[in-house]
């Protein structure tokens, strides 16, 4: 910086202001300093600056399943806020492996990360974030919440969404409705299937445990779940799927059997990923605004970085989007 100041004919403090993008520097002076930086090939040492400031400008995005388009969309919403605030996001995919997640969290902690947004992996222990929180690192759980974890959370209203979807299928005349996909030991499954149970019980229909078929939250899980459901002595006529990806597997499984989705069997997904409207037939689903949820999680984390210690448990709104896969045509419902 002394060399740049001498080369540009300005003070070292002026160079420092330019490097920090301060509005106090005149445009002409800024150009002189930037030209000197180019001439000398200077590269700003962000790591050294972070040591001086005792705070990094790096934030972590630890995602459980980037192969699922919903979580990819969520990550875009998070990244958009961080970039606008001048933070550098580091993203890691844990592939639903809590051991991999622990390794990533440890590495980010060692790097002095300013804060973390975590979509917890299945099987995350309640004390997974204890060390980070004790060190004063802001942690926000997104989409999922770990029971007992002392960290902020931003999640969709899964229970309400499950109830809305099931009520819609009941209104269409279905009485044997399956809940397909997802693992019972996860927060999202408990909430979404909980809404499903509430709707059935409110309609005076007993919940048949055989109709709640868990499995991987992917296309294979949808196809396998459908096969098991249709093999029951009293097979269902409709299914609420754990997520849209499971629903895509159910649609494929129906076609393989010569059945027409929306005619022979009603299908409803959850999330409303971009591909849902382009499915064949277009998928009825519970819409979760993934981008807005990601933005809200990032904004919450930034407030915590800047000293807001208010406990946060945010619930994102959901609504049912009716398309052809449930047999109700293209009419929209809120």
Q: How many domains does the chain have?
A: 3
| Same-domain pairing of 117 and 201 | no
The confidence band for 313, taking pLDDT boundaries of 50, 70 and 90, is: confident
User: Does 49 reside within a domain?
Assistant: no
| Same-domain pairing of 217 and 240 | yes
| Same-domain pairing of 179 and 78 | no
214 CB neighbour count, 10 Å cutoff? 18
Could you read off the pLDDT of 243-264 as tens digits, one per residue? 999 999 999 999 999 999 999 9
Would you list the DSSP string of 45-82? -HHHHHHHHT--SEEEEEES-TTSHHHHHHHHHHHHHH
Question: Residue 234 in contact with residue 202, Cβ under 8 Å?
Answer: no
User: Does 12 reside within a domain?
Assistant: yes
In order of 83, 142, 317, the CA distances from 303 in angstroms are 15, 15, 21
| Same-domain pairing of 115 and 29 | no
Question: Residue 141 in contact with residue 132, Cβ under 8 Å?
Answer: no
Contacts of range 250-258, beta carbons closer than 8 Å, 24 or more positions apart = 250/180, 250/222, 250/223, 250/225, 250/226, 251/222, 251/279, 251/280, 251/281, 251/283, 251/325, 252/219, 252/222, 252/223, 253/222, 253/223, 253/226, 253/227, 254/226, 256/223, 257/230
Round the average pLDDT of the chain to a whole number and report it.
90
For the ranges 37-41, 94-98, 140-144, 242-246, the one whose mean pLDDT is highest: 242-246
Q: Is 38 exposed, middle or buried (0-12, 13-18, 19+ CB in 10 A)?
A: exposed
Write down the pLDDT at residue 135.
85
User: Does 284 reside within a domain?
Assistant: yes
107 CB neighbour count, 10 Å cutoff? 13
Q: Which residue has the higher pLDDT, 53 or 113?
A: 113
| Same-domain pairing of 212 and 298 | no
CATH code of the domain covering residue 8? 1.10.260.40
Domain of 11 in residue numbering reads as: 2-44
| Same-domain pairing of 283 and 162 | yes
Could you read off the pLDDT of 181-226 as tens digits, one per residue? 999 999 999 999 999 999 999 999 999 999 999 999 999 999 999 9
| Same-domain pairing of 6 and 68 | no
Question: Residue 271 in contact with residue 243, Cβ under 8 Å?
Answer: yes
User: Does 333 reside within a domain?
Assistant: no
| Same-domain pairing of 227 and 119 | no
| Same-domain pairing of 167 and 282 | yes
| Same-domain pairing of 266 and 296 | no
Quote the CA–CA distance of 56 and 111 in Å, as a whole number.
8
Could you read off the pLDDT of 25-40 as tens digits, one per residue? 888 898 898 898 888 8
The confidence band for 148, taking pLDDT boundaries of 50, 70 and 90, is: confident
Write down the pLDDT at residue 312.
81
| Same-domain pairing of 133 and 217 | no
Can you tell me which residue has the tokens 């972070």? 50
CATH code of the domain covering residue 88? 3.40.50.2300
Quote the CA–CA distance of 79 and 281 in Å, as a whole number.
32
User: Does 50 reside within a domain?
Assistant: no
| Same-domain pairing of 212 and 280 | yes
User: Does 167 reside within a domain?
Assistant: yes
């Amino acid at each position: 910086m002394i060399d740049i100041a001498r080369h540009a004919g300005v003070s070292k403090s002026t160079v420092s202001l330019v490097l920090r993008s301060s509005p106090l520097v005149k445009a002409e002076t800024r150009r002189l300093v930037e030209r000197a930086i180019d001439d000398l090939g200077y590269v700003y040492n962000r790591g050294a600056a972070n040591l001086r400031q005792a705070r990094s400008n790096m934030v972590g995005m630890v995602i459980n399943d980037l192969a699922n388009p919903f979580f990819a969309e969520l990550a875009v919403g998070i990244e958009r806020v961080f970039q606008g605030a001048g933070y550098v996001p580091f993203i890691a995919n844990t592939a639903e492996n809590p051991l991999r997640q622990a390794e990533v969290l440890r590495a980010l902690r060692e790097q002095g990360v300013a804060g973390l947004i975590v979509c917890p992996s299945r099987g995350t222990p309640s004390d997974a974030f204890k060390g980070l929180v004790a060190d004063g690192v802001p942690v926000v759980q997104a989409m999922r919440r770990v029971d007992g974890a002392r960290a902020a959370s931003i999640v969709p209203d899964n229970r309400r969404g499950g109830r809305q979807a099931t009520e819609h299928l009941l209104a269409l005349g279905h009485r044997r409705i399956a809940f397909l996909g997802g693992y019972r030991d996860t927060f999202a499954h408990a909430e979404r299937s909980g809404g499903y149970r509430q709707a059935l019980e409110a309609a005076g229909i007993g919940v048949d445990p055989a109709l709640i078929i868990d499995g991987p939250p992917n296309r294979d899980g949808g196809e396998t779940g459908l096969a098991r459901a249709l093999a029951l002595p009293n097979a269902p006529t409709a299914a609420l799927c754990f997520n849209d990806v499971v629903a895509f597997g159910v649609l494929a499984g129906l076609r393989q059997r010569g059945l027409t989705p929306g005619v022979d069997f009603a299908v409803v997904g959850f999330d409303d990923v971009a591909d849902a409207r382009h499915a064949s037939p277009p998928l009825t689903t519970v819409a979760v605004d993934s981008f807005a949820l990601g933005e809200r999680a990032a904004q919450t984390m930034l407030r915590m970085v800047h000293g807001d210690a208010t406990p946060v448990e945010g619930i994102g709104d959901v609504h049912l989007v009716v398309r052809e896969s449930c047999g109700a045509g293209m009419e929209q419902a809120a």
